[in-house]
Amino acid sequence: MKVTLQFTCSNATTQPELALELEMSLMLVLNATFDKFVIYAQVSEQSISDTQVLVDNVGMFYHDYDQLLTSVINAVVYDFNTTHAKGIDLTKNTTVKFVAGLLRQTLLTPFEKDQFLFGGFRWISDL
């Protein structure tokens, strides 16, 4: 996907202003399953390519943005995968917990059959 990243700078006497704007291609593989209102997600094969500087108001002299930003995204992905290894439990929100009580055994996953997305749920009154 094409991503535009803007860096703004400010201090105590200056309003935020655009310092640097980059446009790049972000590629990654996201394996995600939604099971009983918990999202299990793992990101892999991430990379950034075709980075272009659109605005440079700070004099960036770095030339290999793809390698630098791929290193940054690798760190972000590692943190995400480690932090959310046990899933993201949406039922911590009381409204979602109420809905989860009505829609039981929810499942949305690509891992049941190749090239298909499998999904389903049981309603509270289903036996």
Where along the chain do its domains lie? 2-123
pLDDT at 86: 95
Contacts of 39 (CB under 8 A, 6+ apart): 32, 33, 87, 88, 90
pLDDT at 14: 86
Residues 29 and 20: beta-carbon distance below 8 Å: no
| pTM of the model as a whole | 0.77
pLDDT in tens, the chain (127 residues): 999 999 999 999 989 999 999 999 999 999 999 999 999 999 999 999 999 999 999 888 777 889 999 999 999 999 999 999 999 999 999 999 999 999 999 999 998 888 899 999 999 888 6
pLDDT at 66: 92
Structure tokens at 80: 């995400």
pLDDT at 76: 96
Question: How far apart (Å, rounded) are the C-alpha atoms in residues 101 and 99?
Answer: 5
pLDDT at 114: 86
